Structure formats: C-alpha cells, structure tokens
Chains A and B, each alone.
Chain A
Amino acid sequence: MNEMLGLYPQWYVPGIGTAWVMGIIGTIHVLASHTSVGAAWLFALLATKSVHENKPEIMVYLKKYGMFLLVFSYIIGSITGPGIWYSVTVASPRGISGLIHNFVWLWASEWVFFFVEVIGVYAMVYLIGKIDNKTYLKLAWSFAVASWATMILIVPILSFMMWPGNDHWFQTGSTFDAAFNLNYFAHLGVRTAFMFAVAGAVGGIIASTLKDRETRIEITRFLSKMGLAGLVLMSFMFMWYTLTLPDNARLIMDTQMMPRYGKVLLVLLTTTALYFMFTAWKPLQLRQSMAGAMTLAIALFGLWPEERSRESMRKPYVAGQYIYSNQFFSRDVPGKGVKSDMPLIKANGVLATDYFVPADLHTITPENQLRAGSLLTHVMCANCHSLEPNGALRPLPALFGYSKEPKMIKAYLDGALYHGMVPYMPKMPLPEDEREAMAVYIASLPGGSKKPASVAINQTEIEAKGVN
C-alpha cells in the first residue's frame, strides 16, 4: 500500500471546468495539425503532378498555399501542440505524467520529426522555383512522410489514453505494448482519413482565388476527390474504431454522445460529401467563403464533438485505464510497479494523506466540516463536474436534483461511488467522515435557476448500467 498520495495541487476553472479549456485548445490544434499533415501530402502530390505533366502553374498555387499553410497550420499547430500539452499538464498533471513516463522516447522521436518538419516547411515554401525539380520532389516527399510520421507517433499515446485493450502492458510495462494497443490502428486510420478530408476543404480556400482557369479547375477537382476519398475511408475506419473501444466507452457513446451529437455528425458528414461532389462537378463555382465556411463547420460540428466525446468516453479514466480523471490510481500496474491508491484512501482517507491540504483540515471537526467537504469535493469530483449550479460541465448540483438533503447525497456516496458501481465514475472508497463532509458541502451549493428536476440518481438505473 502507498503511504501517501502523490497528488498535485489542483486547478479549478469555475463554470466551464478544465475539461473545456482542454477541449477548446484541442479543437484548434486538431484542425491545424491534421490540415498540415494532409496539406503536406497534397503538396507532394501536386508538386509531382506539376513536374511530370510539366505544369508550372501548379507551383504558383503551391507557393501561395504554402504561405497560408505556414501561418495557418504550422504556427497555430506548433503553438497549440505544446498548448494542449500545457493545458493537460495543468488540468491533469498525473495523467500527463503517466503518459510522459511511459512514452517519453516516442515523444522524443516525434520531436525529431516535428523539428525536421518545421525547417522543412520553410524550405518547401522558399525554395519553390529556386532549386531543381528532382531535388524539390525529394524534399516534398520526405516532408509528407515525416509529417505523417508525427501522426503515427502521437496516435499510440492518444489511443493508450482510451485503453491498452489487453493485459500485456499491465504486466510488462513495455512502451510498445502500450503503443500498439487494441485501439491504435483503427484510430490511426480515422485520423489519416480525416487529414485528407480536411486538407481537401482547407485547400479550397486558396484554390478558389487562382487566376488561371484551367489550373483552378484541375486543382479544385483534385481537392474534391481527395476530400471524398478521405470521407469514405473515414466512415469505414470509424466503424472499425468503435469495435476496438472498451465497454465503458461504448456505454457512454451510446447513452450520452450519440444522443447529443449523433445527428449533428451525420448532417455534417452528408453536407461535406455533398460539398465535395458539388465542387468536383462545378469547380469554378467554389468561392473562398464557401471553403472557409466548410472548414469552420468541420471544426465546430465535427471536431468539437469529437474532442468532447473522446474526453467523455474514456471516463472514468484519463489514461491507460489505471489513472482516474480525478488523478487517483485505480489499480496496480505490476509491470511498472504502480500501486493502486484505493487501499490507502479506504484506510486513511484523503485529507490525511494528501500533501496539499491546509494543516487544520487533516482531521474533520464540526467547525471545519464545510471547508473540508469543499476541498474533498473539488479533489474528488471537479475534474469531471462543475460545482456551479449552471456550470457547463455536468454540473453537480443539477445532477443531484439541487438537493439540500445531505442524507440523500451521502447515500449516493456510500453506495454507488463507494463501491465503484457507476461505470463512468471512479471508485471512491472514502471514510465515513469524509463522505459526510462532502454530502454536507454539496447540499450547501446554491440551487439552479431551474426547478429541481426529478432526482437524477436512480439506484436501479445505476445498477443496470453497472452490470453492463
């Protein structure tokens, strides 16, 4: 058993929660980074076409597009990349720590690619027309492959966050067992397909401004075909992807994500497909504003739900099905010598074992009960729940039906949460007095503007989900 908890201090963002902060930065980053990888391939394909068919006009487009690519993808992508990292750091320090300590060499390898990519993009843009064609194509294709390699290297980490998918890694602790988890290839497939689709949309922003009629038609058609192919591939990959998910994720996807986002995603998919068909059919009708709107729609109605879903679906974990979102270790990982925190908090509670507790809160008294309850609720729940009645992130008061009844709340803490019966919530075997303090605190939270809804917690429903 661990002697103390290795928790960090906590960051709490009222209203939207840290999860949304990550979601916002994540959405921007995913858009920029996938566009840049897709665009790298577009660059290489078009440069090859230009050289082989002796069409220098295409290079003019590339020069323009490259400039745009630089600002749009590289700058935004390369700042928001560390940006995600930083936001995960402050939202979930132990989560990122777990990933870093498992994958540091993968990340370091990715960094090598990332570095050659960034110097490569300058070379690609500034050397167009300045160096001989053969050398240029070598540059363009190295660049395309290297860009994809950054994706190949980050997806192991992202898919491991969902789950290892089998017991090997828990026993061996080997990086490759973690990297090539059950979810990996399907996830890589979805992202690879998506990068072609989104590059097809973003490419239109510049293609629509080309002066030369023939080139404009040719490039727009090329983009449309690439986009369509990406969409089709993505649909298949997504089906495979859902088959590689753990039960808790399937449950959340079916019960929460699909009802909330399913229709939007379907409409978006259809619209995008129609858009590409239209631009293939009537390339000259494509306006810059349309391509811009399409890109924005993909970000808002595609990526935002995707980022939020990915975050929700791996609940109650943040990584590897051993680190809970609230930063506790849920189980032993023999391969790494990681010990579950559960026995410790069951025996001694959190207040006495967390270093970041004010001295007078180590033991609960009638005077400090409310403050203790507040701290505990923040530590145990705030990663996933806003504490404000109208907060954006699964607001806790609302989920308790704005109950002012500590008894009722405590019953929930004593039952479902204590025993870990809710598939999407961590197990929290806290001692009696800590549960009591939390219940008192949660009951003291201000009510919402809405009328108390029918009480959200329905024991039989939870048990039904629990067996699932």
Chain B
Amino acid sequence: MDAATTANMLQTMQDQAGIPSHPLIFQILMVFTWIPHILFVNISLGAALVGLYAFTKRQDPNWQLLSEAMTKVAKVGVSLLVVLGVAPLLFTQTIYDPSWYASNVLSAAWVIGFIFTLTIGYLAWFTFYLKNHGAQAPGWIFWLGVFGLAMFLLDGFIMHVLAYQGLHPEKWLSWYTPGGHVDMSGTAIHAFELPRWGFFMAMSLTVFGAFLIAYGDYFKVRADRAPAYLDFARALGAKIAITGALLQVVLLLWWLIDVPAQVHVWTHPMTWLLAAYLFVLLAAFWLARSNNAGQGYRLLAMSIGMAALVSIFREVLRMAYLHPFNYDILNYKVLWDIPSFALFLFTIVVVGGLMGGFIITLVYKAGRVQGPYEADATVTKLGNGSLASTAIWVVVFIGTGIWIWLRNNG
C-alpha cells in the first residue's frame, strides 16, 4: 500500500470517538507505565534462568538457597509483570489503536496462544516453586521450570511481534491478503526483528544482575542470612550484569543497523543518549565488580534509569516509523472528559499513594526484621489512610453514580 493510502487508512481507523484528554498525557503515561512492566519482565526472566541453573547445582548450599529464593522471585515477578503490563496495554491502544488492533487481529491465534501459554507456563512455574525446597527436591521438576521459562520467553516474543507488526501499516493489507486471497486465520506471524527482541532479553540479564546485587544488600541486616551467601549472590549478580550490559551494546548496534533507513534512527539524539548510557552503566558494573557491597541500590537505580531511556527510545522509534504515514498522535481528536480524568487522578494519588504506600512500606519494613513486626507510627498512619481512602473512594463513586443515575433515568 502506498504511503498516501496508508495515511488515509490510519486516519480512518482511529476511533471516531476521539480521546478524552490531551494525547501527550496518554503518551507519557504509556511510556512511564511500561518501565515497571519491562523491569519486572527482566527480573522475572533473569530470576527464572538463574533459579533453574542454581537448581542443577543444589548440592551446594549457596546455590540451593539461591535457587529457592530466585524461584520465588520469578513467581512473584511474573504475576506483577502481568498487572503492570495492563497499564501500557490500555494507553497504547488509546493513542495507537490502529497499530495495536490491526497487529493483534492479523496474528489473532498467537494472541490467544499468548494467554494460554502464559497460564500454563505460570502454573508450571508455580508447581516448580512449590516443590523446589531443600537439596532433596526431585530432579524432574527441573523440566517443569524449563517449560515455564520457555513459555515466558515465547510470550515475550509474541509481545514483541505485536508491537513490531504495528509499526508497518503499509504491509497490513498484503499480510492479510497474501496472493490476493484473504487470510482470516490469524495463524501467521508476519514480522519480527530478532535483535530487538534479543535486546530486551539481554536487558533481562543486566537488570536482574543489578537486582541480585541489591538483594544481597537488602538482606544484610537479617541475622538469618549468612554474609557468605549474600557475598556469593552479589558476586554472581555482578558477573551477570556485566554480561548483560555487554550483550545489550552489541544487540543495540545490530538493532540500529536493522532499522530501515527512512526512520533516520542514527540522527536521533535519543539513540546516542541510550548508547552512551549503556556504556556508562557497563562501566559502573565493571568498577563495582570486585567490591560491590552497599552498591546494589545505586546500580539498580541506574538500571531503572536505563529502562526509562529504553522506554523513551522505543516510543521515539515508533513515532519515526509512523511519521512517513503522517500518523501523529498530536492530531488525535480530543473531547475532554474532566470528571473521569479527575477520578483517575484521585484514584492514583490518593488510593495508589496511601494504600500502595502502606503495603509497600509494610512489606519492606516487616521483611527486614526476623520474627514478628510491630507497626511504627508511619505504618500506622499509612494503614489508617489506606482504609479511609478506599472507603471514601467507594462512597464518592457510588454516590456520584446514584446522583447521575437518578438524574438520567428518573
């Protein structure tokens, strides 16, 4: 399809209902909510890989402990990455609806397969987790874990395909009608980009490595964790992170070479910023490699910074890919809906802040003491706030609802 027709098509496919707030709001939310998603993807994939590797060496007590701990990290991590994926899923289809829906429908069977494989992969991992206790854990469960991880990798690949196919609107029609015959089966994967997918996988090593160093620091205060074990974890983390960062540099280069010339990726400052930052990160890991006690949080924070740059880069790239087709979210029709936007702000600030803050602070503080934990003044206040905010939220929402309902239907 030529560029002009593609541009018209995209414009027609955008939802006529428009969007209820300024497009930049959605774009910023999309980019920033994707950061935690990919961070948990990274931590989970890394933890699953290391948990499995450590399992094969479980005769050694350090590896055995690590295997159990990382199996659990991956278990919690995957459930979080799923919830965290929901927010960018929502925002991407608000402003990039043509790309997202077309790409999904064209590979619909894979989309459904994604749900199915994620479910059984997770159940397999969960079973592995339930049985992975002590040096005596049966060997066969290793394969359950491998199966789980394989499914997660496949799902990451499907995610990648869905994101990537959306960048090529000029090809949708030919993918849908190969040889002039309409293919409604949704069974094909039409396009993927290995270095791009590989980059996110390598990123998993980096982020997970940093996580492992931070893990070593976090448990320093707990008498029941041997310092030798924590040193071991940190040293391993450093090695993994360095490998990951190196691979990322290589894969980024390959990825950039693979991007079509009309996208002009080389002249974009974001490209160079990301590349430079990767070198800085690599250097930071390298310098901390032999003595990294107490550096975990800093390195993890730097890795989160990298994830933020990656997220922005991904968006910059998307804008550049769609630019030849005049697709610019700033032209999206806006019909402001203030009440529902206010509801969101209230919810995220008040409920998210108080209840989320309560739980995270509580878990963090309770985790650092051995034995029972008695709430301190901050946690007590947060707890009250948490309860009050959720209750007030319900009263306000239902109250507004009754009022509007009576007005409209009375």
Contacts and interface: CB of A to CB of B under 8 A. Distances in A.
B119 interface: yes
A338 B355 contact: no
A25 B119 CA distance: 11
A97 interface: yes
Contact of B351 (A90, A104, A141, A146): A146
Interface in B311-360: 333, 335, 337, 339-341, 343-344, 347-348, 351-352, 355-356, 358-360
Given A97-B93, A111-B86, A142-B386, A11 B359 contact: no
Nearest to A179: B401
Nearest to B393: A149
A378 B9 contact: no
Contacts of A93: 101-102, 104-105
Nearest to A93: B101
B105 A108 contact: no
A79 B394 contact: no
Nearest to A114: B83
Given A104-B19, A112-B347, A358-B180, A11 B362 contact: no
Given A6-B12, A93-B104, A118-B80, A102 B343 contact: no
B184 A176 contact: no
A196 interface: no
Interface string B80-119: 1011111101110110010011101110110110110011
Interface stretch (A55-63, A165-173, A403-411, A428-436): A165-173
Interface stretch (B44-52, B62-70, B374-382): B374-382
A358 B112 CA distance: 26
A6 B14 contact: yes
B339 A111 contact: no
B408 interface: yes
Given A89-B111, A166-B409, A336-B16, A100 B184 contact: no
A129 B89 CA distance: 37
Contacts of B102: 8-9, 93
A106 B400 CA distance: 14
A122 B359 CA distance: 10
Contacts of B122: 75, 79
A146 B362 contact: no
A351 to B, nearest CB: 12
B118 A101 contact: no
Contacts of B380: 135
Contacts of B89: 82, 85
A15 B115 CA distance: 21
A37 to B, nearest CB: 13
Contacts of B97: 97, 100-101
Nearest to A84: B115
A369 B84 CA distance: 48
A109 B105 contact: no
B227 interface: no
A127 B373 CA distance: 9
A10 B105 contact: yes
B363 interface: yes
B357 to A, nearest CB: 10
Given A10-B184, A75-B122, A113-B347, A168 B408 contact: yes
Interface stretch (A180-188, A284-292, A305-313, A415-423): A180-188
Contact of B375 (A112, A131, A166): A131
B337 A174 contact: yes
Interface string B5-23: 1001100111111111100
B115 A80 contact: yes
Nearest to A146: B390
Interface footprint category on A: 35 or more
Given A135-B375, A138-B386, A336-B18, A119 B80 contact: yes
Contacts of B17: 98, 101-102, 173, 333, 336-338
A22 B373 CA distance: 45
Contacts of A71: 123, 126
B106 to A, nearest CB: 6
A132 B372 CA distance: 8
Q: Residue among A94, A116, A135, A185 with the most chain B CB within 10 A?
A: A116
Contacts of B405: 180, 182, 184-185
A222 to B, nearest CB: 23
Q: Residue among A82, A103, A126, A338 with the most chain B CB within 10 A?
A: A82
Interface string B128-165: 00000000000000000000000000000000000000
A355 B144 CA distance: 45
Nearest to B389: A142
Interface string A140-169: 011001101100110000000000011010
B360 A119 contact: yes
Interface string A367-394: 0000000110010000000000000000
A166 B337 CA distance: 19
A74 B339 contact: no
A126 B367 CA distance: 10
B79 interface: yes
Contacts of A87: 111-112, 115
Contact of B340 (A98, A106, A126): A106
Given A4-B12, A11-B186, A122 B112 contact: no
Contacts of A356: 172-173, 176-177, 182
B119 A80 contact: yes
A140 B91 CA distance: 31
A83 interface: yes
A212 interface: no
Contact of A115 (B5, B352, B386): B352
Given A139-B359, A142-B387, A108 B90 contact: yes
A176 B387 contact: no
Given A83-B115, A90-B112, 8 more contacts: A10-B105, A11-B186, A98-B15, A108-B90, A115-B84, A146-B355, A149-B397, A152-B394
Interface of A: 2-6, 8-12, 21, 25, 71, 74-76, 78-83, 85-87, 89-90, 93-94, 96-98, 100-109, 111-116, 118-120, 122-123, 126-127, 129-132, 134-135, 138-139, 141-142, 145-146, 148-149, 152-153, 165-166, 168, 173-177, 179-180, 182, 184-185, 329, 333, 336-339, 355-360, 374-375, 378
Interface of B: 5, 8-9, 12-21, 26, 29, 76, 79-80, 82-87, 89-91, 93-94, 97, 100-102, 104-106, 108-109, 111-112, 114-115, 118-119, 122-123, 126, 172-173, 176-177, 180-182, 184-186, 333, 335, 337, 339-341, 343-344, 347-348, 351-352, 355-356, 358-360, 362-363, 366, 372-375, 379-380, 383-384, 386-387, 390-391, 393-394, 397-398, 400-402, 404-405, 408-409
16 contacts: A5-B12, A9-B102, A74-B79, A89-B105, A101-B97, A102-B20, A113-B351, A134-B383, A135-B375, A142-B387, A146-B390, A173-B17, A173-B337, A339-B16, A355-B9, A378-B182
